[in-house]
Structure 1
Amino acid sequence: MPPSAAPPTVPNGRGDADLTSAAVEHIMAENGLSTGSTNGHQHIHTPSGHGSGVSRPNLQDIDASKLTYTFTTLSRGVPPPDVHSIDGATVCTDHMITVKWTSKSGWETPELRPYGPLALMPTASVLHYATECFEGLKAYRGFDGKLRLFRPDCNAARLLTSSLRISLPAFSPAEVEKLIIALMAVDGPKWLPRDRPGSFIYLRPTFIGTQAQLGVQAPSEALLYIIASYMPILDRPPGGLKLHTSPDDMVRAWVGGFGYAKVGANYGPSLLATAEARARGFGQILWLYGSEAYCTEAGASNFFVVWKNKEGRTELVTAPLDDRLILPGVTRRSVLQFAREHLAGEVEVVERPYTIQDVIDADSEGRLLETFAAGTAYFVCPVSLIHHRGQDIQIPMGKAGEGGLYSLKLKKWLADVMYGNVEHPWGVVVQERR
């Protein structure tokens, strides 16, 4: 909005109370985007037509059709399937995509170029004010030989939500999705070879403020980049995932904060407690919130419980999104959609607050059936134990010890889409460049 423009009016006199949400709405409207919400999920609506993500004159939106290609001249071999890092550095593919933005001209031409270091000034905004957000999704080599992404539109839309929360510029999510697909079209054939069906690569779109000026302000320069890397399989820890509940003196996210946005500031402060939990033999923290000790997330994954309620009905329960406390995970969203579709009449899907005491009570009364974490990194990972204030809650792991009935069903349905065992709109096929 130009400095001379009058401030926008806010209906019902809510402007003083809703500064953050009002600011996001203003930016979305200014850029020709609109948001909607269904059952706590935020959706980004972009008008059809090229360049429709930016309505202001003289500012350029991201245009994936103008992507330039500079291919690497270095020949790096693809490591064995179980090698994910070398000398403490993550193994990444040959190329990355970068797009610069400035407040004067908008988005510049996207570039696909060799993977390598970024150049930042020591006073760059991201290094001082945490103007950074990112996404995580995977590309999958299907058993039918095809290369797929899983719901990349959801990740692109969530990246926009996160960027606006930390005053980074808006963009058309559909253009970012096209850039993600373009990177995989180039690097997928080599780094996810056809002789490794059932394998995956992790993609990390990242957005940072780069303006080289100290001062607490929205950056006037930014950089969006997309990289792809290997990562280990995390959804099958021996004996199941063991969780330690969060300490009383630490909280990961809070109502009115930014837990719903995938920003780096959500993760650094959690590392201390997580390291201590792992030193005690646990895989992750089950983050509790408030004096009531509401269950929120398991590490950086969404957390689910399957139990019989006191009326005897089977419920799949997870924390809600309406208070914006937790991250609206793409895997979470998919689990709930599949459960509502395939388990209707058998399992009731419930999104509501529930406490660790509710879990303890269900266990002591023989109503606790299974629990699992769900996210891009951990996929659908069964939880076998929760340790809370000196008490161990043992979670059933099924006859084979690999997880409960419903978590395994949901896991299989999702994997079938990801790896091409079934055709589904969520599995986006990448046309590979050979």
Structure 2
Amino acid sequence: MNKLTIVKAENLKAKPDSDHLGFGQYFTDHMLVMDYTEGKGWHDPSIVPYGPIALDPSAMVFHYGQEVFEGMKAYKTAEGQFSLFRPDMNLKRLNISCERMSIPQVDPELLLDGITQLVSLDKDWIPEGEDTSLYIRPFIIATEPCLGVRAAKQYKLLVILSPVGSYYPEGIHPVSIFVEDEYVRAVRGGTGMAKTSGNYASGIRAQEIAKLEGFSQVLWLDGVEKKYIEEVGSMNVFFKIGGEVITPELSGSILAGVTRDSVMTLLRSWGIQVIERKISVAELFEAAREGKLEEAFGTGTAAVISPIGTMKWGEEQIAVAGGQTGEISKKLYDSITGIQKGVLEDPFGWRNIIV
């Protein structure tokens, strides 16, 4: 791989108000770009001013959907340092997604170096307010101009940065969930375990219907029996039932979330048992009827922890934790964000300091 080159933007953008960031609406001054050519490998990595890219109308990503992406965050710590949170996990998962989508894998160490230099260059964009961070979006697209159903021979990798606030307007407040039993997100053997755009595109219709009915997110069931719980929106999901914390097992159709892993590690360090297994929506609603469903929450890089306050399945609607944020949900959120921002100790070595 060639040496990374940096071309700085001549005119810097005005930075947005950190109290009204929303999510994914603003982008920094620079981006990382790198190309792949069959026989040459990944080459010409560079940091350049943020801006449009030129693609041939026949670029294969438009026609056959070869694309993968990741979601990471950078933070300004309490000591005034800048850090990433478990970037090794994200880059490992990026290459797992690449393998599934027949995209050439990227050297994680060299990509992390490029991301680190990009964040360092645009570090003034990292917001300091509560529930804020700098979202990092690496993605790879097939750029070869060809109409033919096969793996492309040319690709482009980009990394863009966006200062963000809470993913949900509700913040750490409970959200309402609609159990989707018509549309499906993924099936075992498909691409559900990869972070690829098609997985999200297939869920938009159900998401729109849920929002029209007043719900924040969709709870996805398995694609074969439409019986077992898989994910909530774009997040992994956890339930505390009768004192035990249960999360759907990674069966090949569920994304292996970095926050999911962090949550399980924290819970086990607190002496709380976490069980990974199949759980049906019928079992979940029965537990609610019996008063055994104590908490429910989604986990992901964007929202970190998203408590679930109400759920609707068919004609039945249940409240979780009295519609309030549960004790474990709040403790997990405070612990993970505390580690990310350097307010709490990092006993697991998750924080990656940017010099």
User: TM tier, shorter chain?
Assistant: over 0.9
Q: Are 2:43 and 1:112 aligned?
A: no
Poorly superposed stretches of 4+, deviation over 6 Å:
none
Distance 1:319 1:111 in 2: 40
Correspondence for 2:135: 202
State how far apart, in whole Å, the 2-side matches of 1:182 and 1:233 are: 25
Counterpart AA for 2:279: Y
Asked whether 1:72 is paired with 2:17, we answer no
Does 2:268 correspond to 1:336?
A: no
For 1:156-235, what aligned pairs fall within 5 Å after superposition?
156-188=91-123, 190-192=124-126, 196=129, 199-234=132-167
Q: How far did residue 182 of structure 1 move? A: 1.3
RMSD (Å), alpha carbons: 1.8
Residue pairs, 1:196-275, within 5 angstroms = 196=129, 199-234=132-167, 237=170, 240-248=174-182, 250-275=183-208
Amino acid at match of 1:125: M
1:230 CA drift (Å): 2.7
Higher RCO, 1 vs 2 (CA within 8 Å, ≥6 residues apart): 2
Kept after mapping to 2: 8 A contact 1:285/1:299: yes
Residues 143 and 197, structure 1, Cα contact 8 Å, conserved in 2: no
Q: What whole-Å deviation, never above 9, does each CA across 1:293-325 have from its counterpart, x for those lacking one?
A: 1111110100110011xxxxx21100111x211
Could you say if the C-alpha distance between residues 415 and 332 of structure 1 is closer, same or farther in structure 2, counting changes exceeding 3 Å? same
Find the counterpart in structure 1 of residue 329 from structure 2: 407
Q: TM-score, normalised by structure 2?
A: 0.94
Give the aligned partner of residue 37 of structure 2.
102
Q: 1:297 aligns with which of 231, 253, 272?
A: 231
Q: Which of the two has higher C-alpha Rg? A: 1
| Percent of paired sites with the same residue | 34
Offset of 1:408 from its aligned partner? Answer: 1.3
Q: Distance in 2 between matches of 1:412 and 1:235?
A: 17
In 2 relative to 1, CA 409–85 (structure 1 residues): closer, same or farther, beyond 3 Å?
Answer: closer
Structure 1 gaps of 5+ residues are 1-61, 309-313
- Structure 1 counterpart of 2:274, from 329, 349, 354: 349
Q: Summarize deviations over 1:244-292 as a string: whole Å, max 9, x none.
A: 01132x1101111110100001011110110110111100000011325
> What is the SS of the residue equivalent to 1:92?
coil
1:416 to 338, 347, 351: 338
Q: Which amino acid aligns with 1:180?
A: I
Tell me, yes or no, if the aligned pair for 1:142 and 1:198 is still in contact at 8 Å: no
* 1:243 maps to amino acid: I
Task: Report if aligned partners of 2:132, 2:165 keep a CA contact under 8 Å in 1.
Answer: no
* Residue identity in the other structure for 1:171: V
* Alignment gaps of 5+ in structure 2: none
- TM-score w.r.t. structure 1 length? 0.78
Number of corresponding residues: 351
SS at match of 1:110: strand
**Which residue identity is paired with 1:319?**
P
Would you say the 8 A contact 2:132–2:164 is kept in 1? no
Q: Which amino acid aligns with 1:118?
A: I
